[in-house]
Structure 1
Amino acid sequence: MTAAESTAELGAWVSGVDVPEEVLDRLSLVLLDVFGVTAVGAAQPEQRALRAAWRAPDGPAPLVGAGTCVSTDAAAWLNGIALVSLELDEGNKYAKGHPAAHGFPAVLALAAELDSSGEDTAAALLAAYEVASRFGRATSLKPGAHPHGSWGVAGAAAGCARLLGLGPDATAAAIDTGAGMAIAGHFDSATTGNPVRNAWMGASQSSGLAAARMAAAGMARNTGTAALSLGTLLGSFDVGELTAELGVRWDITHGYFKRHASCSFTHPAADAVLALRAEFPAAAITSILVESHVLGAGLTSETWSNRLSAMFSTPFVVATAALTGQVAPDSALDDPQVQALARRVRLVAADDLTARLPAERAARVSIGFDDGTTLASEVPNPVGDADHHPLSEPDLVAMLKTWLPRQPGLVDRAVAVSHELPGLPRVGDALRGLAGGAEKELN
């Protein structure tokens, strides 16, 4: 089957998809995470500065947690970048990235503009996730490429097309157009702390909206461009992954939620350290050896220039976890003890751990002490993965209220909307309520 034929099959599926009962609870949980994590990101000083510089016009779509509603496109872009700014957004190890973050902000902004039904909005969100994940499975990016803003744009386009009520052919054209709008971002932008890496997710929302609108106008075509853009140019592309077990396997049920504000590749090492933490005096640590799979073995920097680069430094994450017991959105970046311990962290690739991908993203940690003793721990996946100590709604709510101490009511509202949305006759007012109070009060 060609890329165009597979995309056509996806278009037909998306245009008629409804949310099956077996995934409704998981969709609600992912939606809660998106709402909450976006609000956490929106509360950061740099996000407040960005909103001020953007000067977005008033409109129908909420800036989640920011106390205002703006135009659809501005909300999609600004919520998208806020969602990923602290590395707390939901992800999927089989997609090799973040399907929800690629398209949920665009779908939600458009749903607020259209005042769509809850049934249609939920179906569009599910379509955005599943299509993005399938394109993520199909795409093997070249070494050095970052997944933000590449394969997931097709999911954003699919969700927006479903919300616009496009037919099978137009939906396929929207998906194909989204696949042709991929960003070629380098992974080093993350490790060196360049926020353009976050902007790629804002661009994914804008491109998804544009692709669906082009299809609605009759301008878009399905030519199988993903095989060229995501394949020939950016890596390789396995067309079969687009339709494998379509409508039977639901990738949204296989994702992970984050409890650490850091790249998911650092989480297993942090979890392994935290599992041992009660057994050692941090001051006595002389060395920490972290063994990881090949995907995470490059996050070796012992220095960081800002929070983004720190979140992509395994030495920072491991040292912070060992010394403070958490890796939070406000973990100190300039703690001399953390900096000193980070210089004693060594990260290496282990072939046996790489062989366990993608089902496991494992890590081994060995901690040496000044008396010559060592402690070791191995974890198969990060805590919060669907296959390893998955996080429940109470877990997410507790974390979000910790991260949003000044907005507990917003978290409660997000819980309510995440449950009620599929059954609402219209979603506009409910979504706009997630903007919260006046921005001057929230920030």
Structure 2
Amino acid sequence: MSSTVEAVARLGAWGAGLRWADVPDAARDRLALVLLDSLGVTVVGARQAEQRALARAWRPGPGPAPLVGGGTTTTVEAAAWLNATAMARLELDEGHKYARGHPAAHGLPAVLALAADLGAPGPETAAALLVAYEVAARFGRATTLRAGAHPHGSWGVAGAAAGCARLLGLPADGVAAAIDAGTGLPVAGHFASALDGNPVRDAWLGASNLSGLSAARMAAAGVARNTGTPAVSLGDVLGRFDPAPLTDGLGTRWDVRLGYFKRHAACSFTHPAADAALLVRADGLDLDAVEEILVETHSLAAGLGRTTWDSRLAALFSTPFVVAAALVHGTVDPAVSAADRRDDPRVRALAARVVLRVAPDLDARLPDERAARVTVRAAGAPSRVVEVPNPVGDAAHHPMAEGDVLALLGRLLDADTVRTVHAVATGLAESADVAPDLRRLAEI
């Protein structure tokens, strides 16, 4: 327990002391790109009928924080929750293979909502966003959840707490206390909810952002303490916890540079298989002649083999659906999982021929690689095998630059919206008061 207290104290001191001017250019540039992607996919999510219905049911009251793409401003708490769920709505949000989850979505909405309320300067907001990301990613590295647990809403609360505490200007012990309190507020979600297409999975990210805000405010009030909570909440209760990754390379390794952007609207575990399927499709393939599609993958993706689905979310967590959609449509954009297209008989028929299997040689390459090998067997033709080491968009495999992210958003949003999101994301760190800039996001 004492080692956890010490590690959280060091992390708190680092977060409280971080100055934007001292952050290396490469990390600053990458954070701007993460912010661009995050805000863009939040707008895409906010425009979905399900998210609009949720916002109406929420009846958000007036306030200073924008509902990104939602047409209004509201309270900090409502904005943090609803923007987080919109960001995750279509499985397009940025992720991190070493954290085994999504650091950005766990805390960036809370920090941005609080910054709009405080009228925070750009450098302070950028530093707080970076603290939120780095702390969340380190807690993801430090936590090994029990089998079957979903990562949303558990270790990432620490990042939301740290980022909000940093934005509130708390000293080192205050940031550490906020982190500790945040780790005492995790969600114990099961992966089956995602596989079943239950949107409660999105709500876990809303809960993370709201809990992080609460933890930071507890620390600001002096009613939070650093007592080693993550060792028992993330460790004894939810899995195993090793405090060493919290401080490994602190200040020299920037986890924000090691994440991945998504070009497919689907669970990241399906992406390598989708990329391989698209390569097969590009060479020409008679879909009617396909007899079997064998997808070999790593153990993290073992549970995504369902060949039936009854909702968009369930489809996005089905490797057979994603591979079949890629082969039929040549894309896995949100449109292919919408109600009018996800039951395409060609996709259903092809998905029924997909077999998912864990390959020991691919599993051994975790965590540096999330590989997939796709073998297509078709009548009258030799088997075709394509293997990819990581999904396109991973920092280590065809990484996306700003132009790539803008092109992705350009397929999903109108040009004026993309220009506004780009202007806010790239100009935020230089703004004297981020509130007016952020409120522009409510108007798009």
Question: TM-score, normalized by length of structure 2?
Answer: 0.97
Question: How far off its partner does 1:389 sit?
Answer: 0.4
Describe the superposition over 1:169-188 as per-residue Cα deviations: whole angstroms up to 9, x where unpaired. 01100000001111000000
Which residue identity lines up with residue 9 of structure 2 in the other structure?
A
Mark the runs of 5 or more structure 1 residues left unpaired by the alignment. Answer: 438-443
Partner in structure 1 of residue 296 of structure 2: 291
User: Following the alignment from structure 2 to structure 1, what is the Cα–Cα distance between the partners of residues 267 and 147?
Assistant: 17
Question: How far off its partner does 1:372 sit?
Answer: 4.5
Partner in structure 2 of residue 397 of structure 1: 406
Note if contact 1:80-1:101 (Cα within 8 Å) is conserved in structure 2: yes
Which residue identity lines up with residue 395 of structure 2 in the other structure?
A
Partner in structure 2 of residue 8 of structure 1: 9
Question: How far off its partner does 1:299 sit?
Answer: 0.3
Secondary structure of the residue aligned to 1:82 is helix
The answer on 1:211 being equivalent to 2:250 is no
Secondary structure of the residue aligned to 1:48 is helix
424-433 vs 395-404, greater mean Cα deviation: 395-404
Secondary structure of the residue aligned to 1:9 is helix
Which residue identity lines up with residue 306 of structure 1 in the other structure?
S
User: Following the alignment from structure 1 to structure 2, what is the Cα–Cα distance between the partners of residues 282 and 428?
Assistant: 52
Question: How far off its partner does 1:141 sit?
Answer: 0.4
Secondary structure of the residue aligned to 2:169 is coil
Partner in structure 2 of residue 335 of structure 1: 344
Which residue identity lines up with residue 303 of structure 1 in the other structure?
T
The answer on 1:313 being equivalent to 2:318 is yes
User: Following the alignment from structure 2 to structure 1, what is the Cα–Cα distance between the partners of residues 134 and 430?
Assistant: 21
Out of 141, 153, 178, the position equivalent to 2:145 is 141
Secondary structure of the residue aligned to 1:59 is coil
Mark the runs of 5 or more structure 2 residues left unpaired by the alignment. Answer: none
Partner in structure 2 of residue 114 of structure 1: 118
User: Following the alignment from structure 1 to structure 2, what is the Cα–Cα distance between the partners of residues 202 and 257?
Assistant: 21
- Equivalent residue runs for 1:220-369 within 5 Å: 220-279=224-283, 280-331=285-336, 332-369=341-378
Secondary structure of the residue aligned to 1:260 is coil
User: Following the alignment from structure 1 to structure 2, what is the Cα–Cα distance between the partners of residues 171 and 366?
Assistant: 50
Describe the superposition over 1:29-54 as per-residue Cα deviations: whole angstroms up to 9, x where unpaired. 00001100000000000111111111
Which residue identity lines up with residue 157 of structure 1 in the other structure?
A
Note if contact 1:317-1:327 (Cα within 8 Å) is conserved in structure 2: yes
Out of 124, 142, 151, the position equivalent to 2:128 is 124
Secondary structure of the residue aligned to 1:377 is strand
Out of 57, 61, 66, the position equivalent to 2:61 is 57
Question: How far off its partner does 1:404 sit?
Answer: 1.7
Note if contact 1:86-1:262 (Cα within 8 Å) is conserved in structure 2: yes
User: Following the alignment from structure 1 to structure 2, what is the Cα–Cα distance between the partners of residues 218 and 211?
Assistant: 11
User: Following the alignment from structure 1 to structure 2, what is the Cα–Cα distance between the partners of residues 369 and 174?
Assistant: 57
Secondary structure of the residue aligned to 2:385 is strand
380-389 vs 1-10, greater mean Cα deviation: 1-10
Which residue identity lines up with residue 191 of structure 1 in the other structure?
L
Out of 10, 23, 30, the position equivalent to 1:26 is 30
Out of 98, 122, 127, the position equivalent to 2:102 is 98
Question: TM-score, normalized by length of structure 1?
Answer: 0.97
Partner in structure 1 of residue 185 of structure 2: 181
Secondary structure of the residue aligned to 1:89 is coil
Partner in structure 2 of residue 425 of structure 1: 432
User: Following the alignment from structure 1 to structure 2, what is the Cα–Cα distance between the partners of residues 202 and 286?
Assistant: 42
Structure 1 runs of 4+ aligned residues shifted over 6 Å read none
User: Following the alignment from structure 1 to structure 2, what is the Cα–Cα distance between the partners of residues 287 and 103?
Assistant: 42
Secondary structure of the residue aligned to 1:2 is helix
Describe the superposition over 1:282-307 as per-residue Cα deviations: whole angstroms up to 9, x where unpaired. 22211100000000111010000100
User: Following the alignment from structure 2 to structure 1, what is the Cα–Cα distance between the partners of residues 407 and 59?
Assistant: 33
Which residue identity lines up with residue 328 of structure 1 in the other structure?
D
Which residue identity lines up with residue 394 of structure 2 in the other structure?
D
Give aligned-pair identity as a percent: 61
364-373 vs 197-206, greater mean Cα deviation: 364-373
Note if contact 1:65-1:410 (Cα within 8 Å) is conserved in structure 2: no
User: Following the alignment from structure 1 to structure 2, what is the Cα–Cα distance between the partners of residues 57 and 66?
Assistant: 13
Note if contact 1:410-1:436 (Cα within 8 Å) is conserved in structure 2: no
